[in-house]
Structure 1
Amino acid sequence: MPNDLPVAILGDKNSLSPNAREAIQKLNGAAPWAFTLELIWAWAVVIGFITLALHLNTWWMSLLTVLVVATRQNVLGLLVHDQAHLLGYRGRFGDLGVNLLAAYPLLVLTVEGYAQVHLAHHRDYFGPSDPDFKRKSGPDWTFPMPPGRLARLFLRDLLGINTIALMRGKKPAEANPVFARRNAVPKWLRPLFFLVLIGLLSWAGLWTAFLLYWLLPLLTVTQVIIRWGAICEHEYGAPKATVAESTPLIVLSWWERLLLPNLNFAMHPYHHYFPGVPFSRLPALHRIYEHDGLIEEKHVFRGYGSYLRFITRKPA
């Protein structure tokens, strides 16, 4: 491996005890209540901060609002990720609802489009047909990386220079019938959504607020968060690497989860071993692995800072 990623999880799901497997089986399936609460909270934070920023009309509140809204835009994207696995809603109108409330507001995302990319990543993990691996193979995704180079990448994201490339990576190169959604969302719904949005913003005179407090963070700060999330997701550069060899296990502190909520995405090895377990139940899955003695504690990254130091270290 390029950076000798320490293996934190000792064995895959086949290493679990029968009792552990039975417990994990109960964690599988959609979790609509947790999904809905996270969706409501994300929008409540966005609306609350924007309302307060418009009321106070100060530079520091505007800056804070841009930063906070960006974190919630990232949460919406992560909810789209869970829905791609049908872990939010499995009903006939599940994808439709998540598109309207999470994907379409991010302007370039749809549940069905993201599923085409992401499920292919799961099916051919780090293989020649893995779209994530192909897109993220190169010097910008190879670690260890000097801190200065990583800082320049983040700066380019913050300035919107890398935005188009990052957003394109969430779209499928071509449709794959293997991942077609059973309850297809009508193609006319998305343009209708944008027409209604344009009409409402014009009627309410909220274009300035939309551009400053939604579009600006989406094109800048949110892209920084997306890159950091992708860096924490996998270490690229080694074809056919296993999940254990290429996926760190990062356990966040309470304040990291508060400032940069990521819906337990940093526990990413579990998502690949058990893609049917929703984000809200991944901590319970981690506890099952701990109980079975399958966690190498010294190889668990405790917080983002620990992982950042690891990926920016100089090779021995």
Structure 2
Amino acid sequence: MTALRIRARDLLTEEQLIAVRRRSTWKGAALIAHAWALIIVAVALVAWWPNPLTYLLAVAIIGSRQLGLAILMHDGAHGCLSPDEKINLAMSQWFCAYPVFAETRAYRRYHLQHHARTQQEDDPDLVLSAPFPITKMSYRRKFLRDITGQTGYQQRKAQLLNALGPAEWPLARRAAHFWEKLGPQCAVNAVLLAAFAIAGVWWAYPLLWLVPLLTWMMVITRIRNIAEHAVVPDSNDPLRNTRTTRANWLERLFIAPYYVNYHLEHHLLFYVPCYNLPRVHRILSESRHAGSMEVQPSYAAVLRLATAKPDREDRPGQVVNSARRARSGAKVDADQTAGGF
């Protein structure tokens, strides 16, 4: 089922649309550079002053920037990193997607279905929002699985097995399939490892790249998924089936980088670069639509809504629905890292 949409010209004037649609290669490159600069600074901090506190801080910062790279890959999937599609795809693939074991083109094919069918029965991302609200106990179990790396390990294991292909395939076919699915990602990560080794901090790759990827990034990816579409007021109203969450500077640093919190504005105008979404939000907040928009004051407020089910109704290990199981394998290839944007 196709989701209801509001025409762009019912939201913004022609002049405003022209302004917010404008894409800039240098702005896209600047955001990517910002993400990598924070990663390098976090690694340097631990190398210069190694102790448990700086390590935990670095894991949180790097995990948030890894999500940031996935967010910027998502912008690339919408053609928003550069007005030149070849440059857009190259930036998205080599500097955003491949380092976090994702792939822009496969993600684009999958993700555009979500935009066309938002919160409808055939929305491929409905499995991310349908189970909510849940109990606080259920969320604590999910948080524990995420922060201890269990979620990340299971996702990467499934991704690897998918890339290896069936055991009965000839070796040459399996090798070709592996390269198609994970080859560039492994090559870029080998370069990362080599760069850390040349800098004299080879240990940073397992401890400050893989650990955040498998732990903190999983925690905040789940929080982001919840904030975007869980427990929305009306699945059929394009102003209320997607949520914008206000984020303070700490939330932007550790949970919601690169304007990902402006998700309602993104769904209304999905061809707008992420750095123009705050402007869209300001315009809409002063329009006749302001009172109808689903906006929450913080991520803590969203989590309270999403965990409002009484603990007495908690069912540990309960299967939410059969669709979730059926689609989980298909999501591994296309939506492993950036699900639900």
Q: In structure 2, what residue type is equivalent to 1:77?
A: A
State how far apart, in whole Å, the 1-side matches of 2:150 and 2:61 are: 21
Q: Does 1:136 align with 2:125?
A: no
The structural deviation recorded for 1:152 is 1.1
Distance 1:170 1:267, change over 3 A: farther
* Aligned partners of 2:43 and 2:58 also within 8 Å: yes
Q: Hey, what does 1:48 align to over in structure 2?
A: 41
State how far apart, in whole Å, the 2-side matches of 1:254 and 1:67 are: 14
* Aligned partners of 1:30 and 1:88 also within 8 Å: yes
Q: 1:158 aligns with which of 147, 166, 176?
A: 147
Q: In structure 1, what residue type is equivalent to 2:27?
A: A
Q: In structure 2, what residue type is equivalent to 1:100?
A: W
Q: In structure 1, what residue type is equivalent to 2:217?
A: T
Q: 2:263 aligns with which of 268, 272, 281?
A: 268
State how far apart, in whole Å, the 1-side matches of 2:159 and 2:288 are: 37
State how far apart, in whole Å, the 1-side matches of 2:251 and 2:307 are: 20
CA deviations over 1:215-235 (Å, ceiling 9, x no partner): 011001110011111111112
* SS of corresponding position for 1:93: helix
The TM-score with structure 1 as length reference comes to 0.78
The structural deviation recorded for 1:281 is 0.6
Q: Hey, what does 2:283 align to over in structure 1?
A: 288
Q: In structure 2, what residue type is equivalent to 1:253?
A: N
My pick for the range that moved more, 188-197 or 204-213, is 188-197
CA deviations over 1:225-267 (Å, ceiling 9, x no partner): 1111111111279997443343222222344324434322222
Q: Hey, what does 2:87 align to over in structure 1?
A: 93
Q: In structure 1, what residue type is equivalent to 2:136?
A: P
State how far apart, in whole Å, the 1-side matches of 2:33 and 2:90 are: 16
Q: Hey, what does 2:274 align to over in structure 1?
A: 279
Distance 1:240 1:301, change over 3 A: closer
Describe how 1:44-193 pairs up with structure 2 within 5 A: 44-91=37-84, 92-106=86-100, 108-127=101-120, 129-133=122-126, 135-136=127-128, 141-164=130-153, 189-190=184-185, 192-193=187-188
Q: In structure 2, what residue type is equivalent to 1:211?
A: P
State how far apart, in whole Å, the 1-side matches of 2:306 and 2:140 are: 13
Q: How many residues align?
A: 287
The structural deviation recorded for 1:167 is 5.9
Q: Hey, what does 1:306 align to over in structure 2?
A: 301
Q: In structure 2, what residue type is equivalent to 1:151?
A: R
* Aligned partners of 1:16 and 1:292 also within 8 Å: no
Describe how 1:7-46 pairs up with structure 2 within 5 A: 12-13=6-7, 16=10, 20-46=13-39
The TM-score with structure 2 as length reference comes to 0.73
* Aligned partners of 1:28 and 1:278 also within 8 Å: yes
Structure 1 gap ranges (5+): 1-10, 174-185
Q: In structure 1, what residue type is equivalent to 2:134?
A: M
Q: 1:212 aligns with which of 200, 207, 214?
A: 207
My pick for the range that moved more, 305-314 or 96-105, is 305-314
Distance 1:302 1:89, change over 3 A: same
Q: In structure 2, what residue type is equivalent to 1:136?
A: L
CA deviations over 1:138-184 (Å, ceiling 9, x no partner): xxx5222221211111111111222255569999x9xxxxxxxxxxx
> What is the root-mean-square deviation of aligned Cα atoms in Å?
3.3
Structure 2 gap ranges (5+): 163-178, 311-341
Distance 1:258 1:66, change over 3 A: closer
State how far apart, in whole Å, the 2-side matches of 1:270 and 1:309 are: 23
State how far apart, in whole Å, the 1-side matches of 2:131 and 2:15 are: 38
Describe how 1:199-238 pairs up with structure 2 within 5 A: 199-200=194-195, 206-235=201-230
Q: In structure 1, what residue type is equivalent to 2:112?
A: L
* Aligned partners of 1:146 and 1:313 also within 8 Å: yes
Q: Hey, what does 1:182 align to over in structure 2?
A: none
CA deviations over 1:250-300 (Å, ceiling 9, x no partner): 222344324434322222111111111111111111111122231128963
State how far apart, in whole Å, the 2-side matches of 1:309 and 1:131 are: 25
State how far apart, in whole Å, the 2-side matches of 1:298 and 1:273 are: 11
Greater RCO, 1 or 2 (C-alpha within 8 Å, sep 6+): 1
* SS of corresponding position for 1:97: helix
